[in-house]
């Protein structure tokens, strides 16, 4: 195999005490691409790990046989093949009580998508419904595409990286269709009426700038640091400074793109990361508060109770039941 989910000559261990391991995509030679595809067996034992862990790469699994449960963050997905699943970078996941697991695994880093930058949007859309049951036609189409990926990857002929990216793009487009109807990144433009060509161009430029800012904000919330912990910003002002715009412009751009404020999305991101750490790690509440951008653990507890209706301790106890 060209790639595995382990670092060369070193185990994948948590960077901070009490945290789950972080797995990276190994590239054995300088001229090889950050991509791998194969069966669960050929990818290796980490592809079916029974302990919570994170990835720094994307993973697509096409499950053709098996029973058990796949756990992603706080969601549990019962295996009822054929199914197609996506694990985003930074997400905690593991397999529980799995028997007879078979199918294919596709691994790739964000950098691998350079030929198709729009694929990031497709992956975010798929990530909203990351576990799909396939009907016979979709199962057959998916199987053929992944078989082509495996054949191209196995041969490694001239230009194989370009072919892999193209086949992966088709797989993502078709999977996004299964995950839900296409949605525009920004609302449709108002009919221009008697606007001049110059005003139309300025309007398009402004809309494009807003969409780019909203896209960068989405990447900021989804970004993980090199150790796998979510690098969640502390405030809208913090986000705006990182992107290079004013807080007001950021609010306008994000609201135009998704119909919500960056403050609300930021609260959701911090809450979700806190829930992951409470449910899947042994970190203390003080440590989790610091990891999610709170200097004061007491304020973190009040924030968490306001957002979830329970204290961090009660949430952790309920998840342990």
> Residues of the chain with pLDDT > 90: what percent?
35
Q: What is the pLDDT of residue 157?
A: 85
Exposure pattern of 81-112 as b/e (b: 16+ CB <10 Å)? bbbbbbbbbbbbbbbeebeebebbbbbbbbeb
Q: What is the mean pLDDT of the chain?
A: 80
Mean pLDDT of 93-107: 95
Q: Is the pLDDT of residue 283 over 70?
A: yes
The domains located in the chain, with CATH, are 22-179 (2.60.120.280), 206-320 (1.10.10.60)
Residues ≥6 apart with Cβ < 8 Å to 116:
165, 168, 169
Tell me what pLDDT residue 225 has: 40
Q: What is the pLDDT of residue 17?
A: 56
Q: Which residue has the higher pLDDT, 211 or 254?
A: 254
Residue 230: half-sphere exposure toward Cβ, Cα within 13 Å: 28
Rounded to whole angstroms, the Cα distance separating 149 from 59 reads 14
Residue 150 has pLDDT above 70, yes or no: yes
State how far the Cα of 36 lies from the Cα of 72, in Å rounded to an integer.
Answer: 21
The pLDDT assigned to 184 comes to 36
Structure tokens at 20: 């789950």
Sign of the alpha-carbon torsion through 11, 15, 19, 24: negative
Taking only the tens place, the pLDDT of each residue in 156-197 is: 888 888 899 999 999 999 999 987 654 433 333 334 444 544
How confident is residue 293, by pLDDT bands cut at 50, 70 and 90? confident
pLDDT band at 218; cut points 50, 70, 90 = confident
Whether the CB-CB separation of 76 and 36 falls below 8 Å is answered with no
Q: Which of 3-17, 40-54, 289-303 has the lowest mean pLDDT?
A: 3-17
Tokens 């993980």 belong to: 224
Comparing 81-90, 248-257, 284-293, 305-314, the range with the smallest average pLDDT is 248-257
Which helix (DSSP H) or strand (DSSP E) does residue 119 occupy? helix 119-128
CA 122 remoteness from chain centre: 11
């Amino acid at each position: 195999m060209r790639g595995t989910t382990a670092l060369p000559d070193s185990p994948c261990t948590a960077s901070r005490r009490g945290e789950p391991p972080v797995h990276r995509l190994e590239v054995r030679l300088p001229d090889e691409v950050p991509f791998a595809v194969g069966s669960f067996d050929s990818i290796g034992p980490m592809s079916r790990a029974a302990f919570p862990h994170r990835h720094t790469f994307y993973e697509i699994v096409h499950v053709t046989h098996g029973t058990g449960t796949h756990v992603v963050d706080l969601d549990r997905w019962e295996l009822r093949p054929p199914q197609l699943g996506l694990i985003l970078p930074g997400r905690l996941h593991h397999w529980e009580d799995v028997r007879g697991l078979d199918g294919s695994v596709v691994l790739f880093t964000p950098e691998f998508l350079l030929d198709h930058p729009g694929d990031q949007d497709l992956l975010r859309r798929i990530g909203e419904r990351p576990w799909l049951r396939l009907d016979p036609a979709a199962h057959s189409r998916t199987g053929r595409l992944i078989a082509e990926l495996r054949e191209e990857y196995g041969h490694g002929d001239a230009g194989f990286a370009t072919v892999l990216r193209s086949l992966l793009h088709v797989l993502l487009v078709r999977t996004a269709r299964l995950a839900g109807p296409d949605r525009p990144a920004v609302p449709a433009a108002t009919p221009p009426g008697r606007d001049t060509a110059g005003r139309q161009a300025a309007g398009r430029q402004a809309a494009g700038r807003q969409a780019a800012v909203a896209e960068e904000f989405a990447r900021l919330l989804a970004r993980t640091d090199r150790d796998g912990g979510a690098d969640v910003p502390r405030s809208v002002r913090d986000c705006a400074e990182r992107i290079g715009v004013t807080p007001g412009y950021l609010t306008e751009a994000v609201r135009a793109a998704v119909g919500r404020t960056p403050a609300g999305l930021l609260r959701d991101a911090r809450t979700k990361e806190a829930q992951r750490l409470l449910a899947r790690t042994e970190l203390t509440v003080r440590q989790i508060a610091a990891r999610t951008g709170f200097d004061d653990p007491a304020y973190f507890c009040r924030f968490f109770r306001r957002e979830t209706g329970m204290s961090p301790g009660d949430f952790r106890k309920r998840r342990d039941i």
